[in-house]
C-alpha cells in the first residue's frame, strides 16, 4: 500500500502525466479531467476495462500490465494507495526523480480555486455524491466533479464544469480526506472500517471530527448513525445540518416505503414537507437522498426543486446494477464490501426479487477486514437464500495465515445456505445450479468479482 504523501510539492505545470493504476474509478476520473485540460495522459493497469477503453478514446496511451518500460518519459506520475511499493513503474519514477503524486494530492490540485463539496463516510459516498451532482445539474448548475463510480445517466465518473462548485467523493480509508480545502462536508455515516489503518475506533472517529471541523461553510451529517452522532459532538462553532430519521433532525426523514423497486419517502425541512420517489430501491438510498438534500438546501437552493432533481438520479455502476437475464434468472452486481453495506444492498434486493430466491456470490475484500468482521459478514449475508463465498481479494495486503473466505462461511448459523468455493472457475456453475426461474444472483464485493458476471450468465444458459 502506498500511503498519501502531501509533502511532495505539486509542480506548477503537471505536463505529461502517467497514472499507475489508471483504470480505477477515482484515477480514471482525474485522468479524464486532465485530458480535458489539455494534458497528455499515459497510464497502465492490470486489466483492459471499460474505464481504460473510454480513456483511450479520449487520447490516453495505456499499457496493460505493470512494467518499468511502460513509464515512458512523463513529467508527473500519479499513484493510488492500492499499489505495492515494489511496483516497477513507481520505483523507476522515484529513481529518476520524477514528481510522484498520490491520487488524493492530484485531486486536491484540481479542486484548487473551487468551492469544494467533499462527501465522506464508510459507505454511501458514491451514491450520495452522484445524487448531489445530479441535483445540481437539474438545478441548472454546471459543477466539476470526481465520483467513485460512473453515474449511469451521465456515463462518466468525472467532468470539468464551468461553475465554481467542485464535488468529490473523499476517501477516508487512508486519511487523505483531511488534505482537501473543503467548503462543505457531507458525512454519510462513520461506521467502523479501515481500523487496520487507524488502529482504533476512537482514532477513526477523531479523524472524521477533524474533517468536519475543517469545512469552511457547513457540515451535513447523519443523525441516525451512532458514529456520526459521536462525531457531531466533536464539531464546534460550525453550521451543522443533521439529516435522518432521528427526532430533532434538521432534515427529518419519514414515511419510508422501501417495499418495491423504487423507494418513496418524505423530508421535513424548516416546517415544510417534501415527498419523492427515487428510481432506485432501498431505505439506505432514501437516507442518501436526505444527505444530498441537506447539502443542496445548505448551499441555498430551493428545497422542492432540489429534491425533485435528486429524485431523477438513476444510480451508479456497481450499485445493484442489472447485467442480464438467462433462464429467467437476473444477474446483478453490487459494490457492497462492509457488513452494513451488504445488509442494506440485500434488503433492497429482497424488496425487488419478490417470491424468487436471492443468491449472493460474495468476494471478501482485505484480510484485515475479513478477520475482524467475518461474523458480521455472515449475519448480513444470511439475508440471502443461498450464498456462495469466494476467497479473499487481497488488494493492498499480504496474505495472513488462516484468514480465508472460509472464515465467513464457517460463521453462518445455517450451514445449508452457504457454499465456500475458493476456486474462481468453479463459482459460476455452483451459483447457476442453485438458481431457478424468477431468482436473482448478485455478485458482491469491491474487488474483481464483477468480472464473473459474463461467466455466470453463460453458466445459466448452459
Which residues are known to be catalytic? Answer: 125-126, 169
Separation in Å, CA 253 to CA 41, 156, 247, 257, 353: 44, 30, 9, 11, 25
First to last CA, the chain: 41
Q: How many CB atoms lie within 10 A of CB 204?
A: 22
SS3 call for 239: coil
Sign, Cα dihedral of 28, 30, 35, 41 = negative
Could you identify the residue written with the cell 448531489?
Answer: 132
Residue with cell 474462481: 424
Q: Quote the Cα angle for 99-103-105, to 5°.
A: 65
Closest-CA residue to 158 (of 18, 30, 24, 22): 30
- 170 backbone dihedrals φ, ψ, rounded to 5°: -100, 125
Taking CA atoms, 439 is separated from 326, 355, 434, in Å, by: 10, 8, 9
Query: Environment class of residue 39 by beta-carbon count within 10 Å: exposed (0-12), middle (13-18) or buried (19+)?
Result: middle
Gap between the Cα atoms of 406 and 420, Å rounded? 6
Reading the block at residue 407, the C-alpha cell is: 472464515
**Nearby residues of 248 by Cβ (< 8 Å), 6 or more positions away:** 223, 242
Amino acid at each position: 500500500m502506498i500511503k498519501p504523501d502531501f509533502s511532495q510539492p505539486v509542480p506548477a505545470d503537471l505536463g505529461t502525466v502517467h497514472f499507475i493504476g489508471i483504470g480505477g474509478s477515482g484515477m480514471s476520473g482525474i485522468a479524464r479531467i486532465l485530458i480535458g485540460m489539455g494534458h497528455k495522459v499515459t497510464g497502465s493497469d492490470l486489466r483492459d476495462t471499460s474505464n481504460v477503453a473510454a480513456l483511450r478514446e479520449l487520447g490516453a496511451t495505456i499499457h496493460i500490465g505493470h512494467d518499468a518500460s511502460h513509464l515512458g518519459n512523463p513529467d508527473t506520475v500519479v499513484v493510488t494507495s492500492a499499489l505495492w511499493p515494489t511496483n516497477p513503474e513507481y520505483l523507476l519514477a522515484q529513481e529518476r526523480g520524477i514528481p510522484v503524486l498520490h491520487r488524493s494530492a492530484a485531486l486536491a490540485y484540481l479542486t484548487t480555486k473551487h468551492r469544494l463539496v467533499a462527501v465522506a463516510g464508510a459507505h454511501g459516498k458514491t451514491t450520495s455524491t452522484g445524487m448531489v451532482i445530479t441535483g445540481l445539474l437539474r438545478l441548472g448548475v454546471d459543477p466539476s466533479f470526481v465520483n467513485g463510480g460512473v453515474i449511469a445517466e451521465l456515463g462518466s465518473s468525472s467532468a470539468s464544469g464551468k461553475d465554481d462548485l467542485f464535488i468529490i467523493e473523499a476517501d477516508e480509508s487512508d486519511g487523505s480526506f483531511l488534505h482537501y480545502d473543503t467548503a462543505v462536508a457531507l458525512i454519510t455515516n462513520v461506521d467502523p472500517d479501515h481500523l487496520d489503518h487507524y488502529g482504533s475506533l476512537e482514532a477513526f472517529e477523531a479523524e472524521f471530527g477533524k474533517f468536519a471541523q475543517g469545512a469552511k461553510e457547513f457540515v451535513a451529517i447523519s443523525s441516525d448513525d451512532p458514529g456520526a452522532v459521536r462525531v457531531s459532538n466533536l464539531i464546534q462553532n460550525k453550521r451543522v445540518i443533521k439529516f435522518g430519521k432521528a427526532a430533532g433532525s434538521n432534515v427529518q426523514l419519514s414515511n419510508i416505503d422501501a417495499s418495491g423497486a423504487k423507494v418513496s419517502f418524505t423530508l421535513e425541512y424548516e416546517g415544510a414537507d417534501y415527498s419523492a420517489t427515487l428510481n432506485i430501491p432501498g431505505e439506505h438510498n432514501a437516507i442518501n437522498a436526505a444527505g444530498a438534500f441537506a447539502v443542496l438546501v445548505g448551499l441555498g437552493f430551493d428545497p422542492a426543486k432540489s429534491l425533485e432533481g435528486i429524485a431523477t438520479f438513476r444510480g451508479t455502476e456497481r450499485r445493484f446494477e442489472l447485467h442480464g437475464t438467462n433462464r429467467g434468472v437476473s444477474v446483478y452486481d453490487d459494490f457492497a464490501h462492509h457488513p452494513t453495506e451488504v445488509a442494506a444492498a440485500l434488503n433492497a434486493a429482497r424488496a425487488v426479487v419478490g417470491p424468487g430466491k436471492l443468491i449472493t456470490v460474495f468476494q471478501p475484500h482485505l484480510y484485515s477486514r475479513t478477520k475482524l468482521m467475518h461474523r458480521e459478514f455472515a449475519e448480513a449475508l444470511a439475508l440471502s437464500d443461498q450464498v456462495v463465498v469466494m476467497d479473499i481479494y487481497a488488494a493492498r495486503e499480504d496474505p495472513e495465515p488462516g484468514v480465508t473466505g472460509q472464515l465467513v462461511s464457517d460463521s453462518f448459523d445455517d450451514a445449508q445456505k452457504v457454499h465456500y468455493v475458493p476456486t474462481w472457475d468453479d463459482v459460476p456453475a455452483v451459483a447457476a445450479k442453485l438458481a431457478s426461474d424468477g431468482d436473482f444472483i448478485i455478485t458482491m464485493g469491491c474487488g474483481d468479482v464483477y468480472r464473473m458476471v459474463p461467466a455466470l450468465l453463460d453458466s445459466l444458459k448452459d
